[in-house]
């Protein structure tokens, strides 16, 4: 891993937008199977690089909010994303920050169960709401708890009925019992869900659990073929509707392929997207809670323009699709909970995505040439919580 200074500014001091994940609490009202339930699994492995965790990091935001405001005031156009844990456990803090922070654009990542706690006037100020759903009711509840799906959908409908006009993203976690074609098309085709956008993230390289899973056969037999099927379906929808479905693993990458743009880490971690811990320390990624060796400063002493840019080194350096992938995941790159040969399997999913999209590129260029689509149809707000690369 390498670093550069002036992350949010070009060599000519031209400003690019910075995004900040603001971690309000480490508490959560769920114990999802691929998240907080994992530490309770038996037979845990000892793979991965040792990481020093700050055991004294407070559970909830524990600094003067004026310090946060002074930090943000030094950024001419910050975007703030409320994050946890479950950020809506702290609706009072959210409302206070939205009332007083020198910020015009707010987002939130939530499991959706507490959306009804936040007053509509605040909900409607979000430019983006990312809601965790994994597909159909049975699949979602199996991982997140009985009744989760219906409660979340009820709250989503309430939000829309109360006038929310921003982007509503269904954010899926994908694992071995996910039929990726069914899950994406179910959320995308059913008008009852009202999600304008869909993103998914693989449950891979975040925990030392590979040997206890059937990840490899699922990737080869179901996930990779499913992604290829979905890319074909995505293009057919463009051909029949004249619009581009906002499926982020395809949308963000195809936008760059059309414009021949290279990408750093597509989630923005460590170059456009930074995370503020509950004690005010700044990390390159919200998953790096307490990883104090990776901290880049503190909101009381660091200016936004002085944040360093993190570059991906190691095995990513020689990768032939590095400019497409960007490195996939900074956290996994540092911690490496899975062995090299298994990380190669995960990289293979990105190669599969790249091959499917480059294969579809001529058809999309034809649609643009015929006037059915315009390149701007693939435009989207970058670094909005969608990692792009699953």
Ordered by start, the domain boundaries in the chain are 2-378
Q: Are 310 and 271 in contact (CB under 8 A)?
A: yes
Q: Which position has the token pair 């040997």?
A: 211
Q: How is residue 316 written in tokens?
A: 């990513």
Is it the case that residue 315 has pLDDT exceeding 90?
A: no
Is it the case that residue 12 has pLDDT exceeding 50?
A: no
pLDDT band at 1 (very low <50, low <70, confident <90, very high): low
Give the mean pLDDT of 46-51.
68
Helices (H) and strands (E) in the chain, counts: 12, 12
Give DSSP secondary structure letters for 216-247: HHHIIIIIHHHHHHHHHHHHHHHHHHSS--EE
Over residues 168-202, the pLDDT tens digits come to: 999 999 999 999 999 999 999 887 788 989 999 99
Is it the case that residue 228 has pLDDT exceeding 50?
A: yes
pLDDT of residue 85: 95
Q: How far is CA 258 from CA 232, 269, 361, in A?
A: 17, 23, 8
What CATH number is given for 2-378 in this structure?
3.20.20.70
Cis (ω within 30 of 0) for the bond into 9? no
Least confident of 6-20, 89-103, 170-184, 221-235: 6-20
Q: How is residue 129 written in tokens?
A: 């709401």
Q: How is residue 91 written in tokens?
A: 């609706």
Residues 6+ apart with CB under 8 A from 323: 262, 263
Q: Give dist(CA 164, CA 123) in Å, integer.
A: 7
Give the mean pLDDT of 245-258.
98
Q: Give dist(CA 309, CA 307) in Å, integer.
A: 7
Q: Which residue(s) pair with 81 in the sheet?
A: 21, 107
pLDDT of residue 96: 98
Which pTM does this prediction carry? Answer: 0.94
Q: Are 57 and 51 in contact (CB under 8 A)?
A: no
Q: Which position has the token pair 């509950």?
A: 278
Q: How far is CA 347 from CA 47, 199, 205, 270, in A?
A: 18, 18, 11, 20
Least confident of 87-96, 123-132, 159-168, 330-339: 330-339
């Amino acid at each position: 891993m390498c670093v550069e200074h002036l992350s949010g500014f070009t060599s000519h001091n031209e400003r690019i937008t910075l995004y900040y994940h603001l971690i309000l609490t480490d508490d959560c009202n769920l114990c999802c199977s691929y998240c907080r339930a994992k530490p309770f699994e038996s037979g845990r492995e000892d793979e991965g690089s040792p990481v020093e965790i700050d055991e004294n990091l407070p559970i909830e935001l524990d600094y003067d909010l004026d310090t946060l405001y002074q930090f943000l005031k030094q950024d001419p156009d910050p975007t703030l994303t409320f994050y946890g844990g479950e950020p809506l456990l702290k609706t009072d803090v959210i409302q206070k920050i939205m009332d007083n922070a020198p910020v015009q654009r707010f987002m939130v990542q939530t499991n959706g169960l507490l959306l009804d706690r936040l007053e509509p006037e605040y909900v409607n100020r979000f430019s983006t709401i990312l809601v965790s759903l994994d597909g159909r009711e049975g699949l979602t509840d199996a991982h997140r708890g009985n009744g989760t799906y219906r409660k979340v959908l009820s709250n989503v409908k309430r939000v829309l009925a109360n006038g929310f006009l921003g982007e509503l993203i269904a954010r899926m976690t994908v694992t071995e019992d996910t039929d990726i074609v069914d899950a994406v098309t179910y959320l995308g085709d059913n008008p009852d869900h009202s999600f304008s956008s869909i993103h998914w993230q693989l449950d891979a390289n975040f925990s030392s659990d590979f040997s206890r899973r059937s990840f490899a056969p699922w990737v080869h037999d179901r996930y990779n073929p499913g992604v290829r099927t979905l890319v074909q379906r995505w293009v057919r929808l463009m051909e029949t509707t004249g619009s581009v479905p906002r499926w982020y693993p395809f949308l963000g990458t195809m936008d760059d392929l059309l414009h021949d743009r290279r990408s750093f880490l597509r989630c923005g971690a460590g170059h456009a997207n930074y995370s503020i811990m509950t004690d005010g320390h700044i990390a390159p990624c919200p998953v790096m809670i307490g990883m104090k060796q990776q901290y880049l400063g503190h909101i009381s002493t660091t200016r936004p323009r002085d944040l360093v840019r993190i570059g991906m080194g190691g095995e990513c350096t020689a990768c032939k699709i590095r400019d497409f992938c960007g490195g996939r995941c900074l956290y996994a790159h540092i911690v490496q909970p899975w062995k090299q040969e298994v990380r190669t399997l995960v990289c293979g999913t990105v190669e599969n995505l790249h091959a499917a999209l480059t294969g579809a590129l001529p058809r999309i260029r034809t649609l643009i040439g015929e006037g059915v689509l315009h390149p701007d149809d693939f435009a989207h707000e970058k670094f909005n919580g969608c990692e792009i690369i699953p």
